[in-house]
Chains A and B, each alone.
Chain A
């Protein structure tokens, strides 16, 4: 099975079909590769049954017998693995055993087949002409063109009908696309809205309201609007910065309660939950694409692909001392979209 043991075939090759219009048209000359002499008289076809009926160990019964035993060994391995698999399954199944047994079974079968084909089945390498299967000759091409032309001329004679057909097809096709719209709701204002609003209580994962004192200095908690845990747009992180110098951005005065600030948890880049909080540097990091936000600077992006700050949620305390949002988010949360700005 290596290139060097190609069959020693006689010089009775069939002549190359030189009528291939394809190659002539392109003026393609056969290229030389590996410095092989093109004049070497290689036959282009090997008469069937003459040279390719030999098999590897034909003249060596001893080796053939050995090969037979090897193949039998492989296939018996498959047999045993198959039985083993069935037994494993019946007694309750075990994934690792199943995998190993299936693997042994398949590989035994495969290796046996390879040895069988290599050692005991006919199949020396043969050479044949590629023929002209890739291309048709000139007359066939012309016949095809004529057949096609049967309609083209009449069509060209009636340009009005042809154009009308195009128009009708276009309009009708467009009309047929309309049902695509029923695949989904229109976005309307939903991308601008969250479940937060004036006076909505801030709750934890178990829908329990929180007090400002619940969040320790350097603490972080994922919070939700009361009864709004299922609103994917509303998840928020509550961070207690303690005495760290927090930069109150213009327009956000009074949105924090002491060191307690709340920002949208949805990354302004690709919408992943911005969860990693570094309490030393007061940075929030998104685990998806490593956008980094400086909480002290109003969650301004300082690294990574995000280009907008995380929106801040204005916080307040209600009469019972629980945290509420004094009003909802003042800008759309999450990643950008065409109509956002």
Chain B
């Protein structure tokens, strides 16, 4: 094996003498490196954007919801306090939900209405603020979904309120939300709204994991975890990453086919070398190992070089914010890259396996070739 490693080393490092084998190996090396680098960069780019989306989800929305199993009212009693005691670090916010309208700029804008005990004034989210040109201190009319019966027929029940502050919207919200205190909520929804509890995981903890660790939820209450609430989006993100990763890995496949072609040519060109080595005592499987070793050396070197190179480029692009994005179109100001070690490991694995497989055919063909043919060709 030591002798074979030396032969492989010599074949690969003959570039200074411009030997054909070294030049061809260098071409295969560069192809595979570029493939690995492209794959790492693509995965880092996807991860960067997806991490931004996931972060936005984690920052803005509740991490889990507690909903009534049946109907729209949660069970009565002190179960929420007990739940909070059993799950230290988690925070719980009980509220009622309903729909209504906010009249602004002369039109009735359909909105979600949240009724919370903790509020003292009215809040609107950014979506609604933008839609109705509403800012802190503005006065708007909130229209209840329960009309008032008058001698002339049903009439909308309207409440003029002063907006105290504008708050961030839930992630990817299309409809605006207005948050009102309990007193106003009772008047907007005389029958009461849909009750729910917003759960936030302890600070610094991953909602994806911790929202599923909630214990002691009583009967009659169902938990909709972070994963469950965002299942379609998370699945779409995962699918996007898998498919684009698969697509880009075709570059590695093409590069490994290039390696296969080059190794096949080398095996033919070096048939005399293989024959001489066999005359010196190298076994046929040694010839196979020689070309496998050559393919693997190129694959491992190119995988490590390209993979790490791609990771470094991605990290530099991210840290220097080198690629800006138009403001107002994207949620981030620059193209984000996030290199994850497991992605680099997958790329290295794909490159190693591809180069190993690419070396099989030429290596086996070289081992099967007649020694005499090689000696006579010289």
On whether the two chains bind one another, the answer is no
